[in-house]
Amino acid sequence: MSQPAGNPYAAELAAAKKAVVLAARLCQMVQQNIVQSSVHTKADKSPVTVADYGSQLLVSLVLKMEAPPSDSFSLVAEEDSEELRKDGAEEILENITELVNETIVDDGSYSILFSKEGILAAIDDGKSEGGPSGRHWVLDPIDGTKGFLRGGQYAIALALIDEGKVVLGVLACPNLPLGSTGNLNGSSSGDQIGALFSATIGCGAEVESLQGSVRHKISVCSIDNLVNASFFESYEGAHTMHDLTSSIAEPKLGVQAPPVRMDSQAKYGALARGDGAIYLCFPHKCYREKIWDHAAGSIVVTVAGGVVRHASGEDLDFSKGRCLDLDTGIIATNKLLMPSLLKAVQDAIKEKNQAPSPL
């Protein structure tokens, strides 16, 4: 897979793309045959599947094998082995082991088979804390687990942080149409399904099929009138405050189109290629956003010519460990719309905060 000349992160980008494509194959197999034993529940009540664990392990494996060596391998990832080491997790661990080894054998790139203990140890490669110095890979092995379980959108989202800055990102979106479409909640029978977005700072953003078709440069839309804009938000009401976004879109911005609700960072990919104009994310106060929730998607949009900001107007800072310090939420759009969008968001947040609490 050839890379653009002059890309200082060409080898890392190639490794990242290979990693998420292999992980996507495993995820697609699991999604096609979801069974009860394939789903586990973490202590925070969020569902996690054999695909989450298997995806994380495969990405870690490929990065270790393919990425240029560094002083130490650092992976900041969502999953760890704690739940799998508990009584009652034997069946899901057995499923993960079989699925990972089957995927590796089918791919043929590596002569490696994992034991159950090897699986647990490899999953724990993702326990790095990140930080402002050195290089850190950042991974959400399945962003949008609930969408994955529903048969909807999900993404394998991988980014590289170098000295506190995100420098590349890849998004494997197995259920997203490859071509732009106005019907993002579905697709026509003629659409090729499965998109791989990639971006490196200073080298542009691209999309190709998960099977490795010709790459196409992408850029955010050039809409400069909010009335003509459409916006993305999370499918799940538990992930974002739909009431806040609705109070911004039509009353404040004059947006006529209904929201496009989609799981996962696939929204960032769709925004980066111009399928919509705005992405609004306002997590509930009980959830603290993690760097893997936005690192890969934000760099894809930024390199495609967009802007991703805190609702306060500041840039996102991925250098402070595993969590993002957010001021209410995240907004993304093109450079033309950001000033008016930012003002509308800040006005709506101020009004919400000043409103009397319901009895």
| Confidence (pLDDT) at 72 | 86
SS3 content of the chain, % helix, strand, coil (to 5): 35, 20, 40
Mean local confidence (pLDDT), 41-48? 63
User: 52 catalytic, yes or no?
Assistant: yes
**Concatenated DSSP letters of 89-110:** -HHHHHHHHHHHHHHHHHH-S-
* CA separation for the pair 329, 52 (Å, rounded): 26
Single out the catalytic residue among 49, 52, 125, 293.
52
What is each CA distance from 140 to 88, 128, 154, 265, 291, in whole angstroms? 25, 13, 10, 10, 9
Of 49, 97, 103, 145, which one is the catalytic site residue?
145
Question: What H or E segment, with its residue span, contains residue 71?
Answer: none
User: Residue 286 corresponds to which amino acid?
Assistant: C
Residue 145 annotated as catalytic: yes
Q: How confident is the model at residue 239 (pLDDT cuts 50, 70, 90)?
A: very low
Mean pLDDT of 40-44: 65
Is 226 a residue whose pLDDT tops 70?
Answer: yes
On whether the CB atoms of residues 268 and 295 are closer than 8 A, the answer is no
| Per-residue pLDDT tens over the stretch 240-294 | 455 666 666 555 666 767 778 898 999 999 999 999 999 998 876 767 889 999 9
Contact (CB, 8 A) for 142 and 27: yes
Give the chain's mean pLDDT.
Answer: 87
pLDDT at res. 156: 98
Least confident of 139-148, 215-224, 248-257, 309-318: 248-257
More confident of the two residues 75 and 69 = 75
User: Quick one: average pLDDT of 89-118?
Assistant: 95
Q: What is the mean pLDDT of residues 22-42?
A: 80
Query: Dihedral of CA 269/271/276/279: which sign?
Result: positive
pLDDT, residue 260, reads 82
pLDDT tens-digit series, residues 165-199: 999 999 999 999 998 755 444 444 357 899 999 99
Mind listing the pLDDT tens digit for each residue in 89-100?
998 999 999 999
Parallel, antiparallel, or unpaired for β 135-143 and 216-217? unpaired
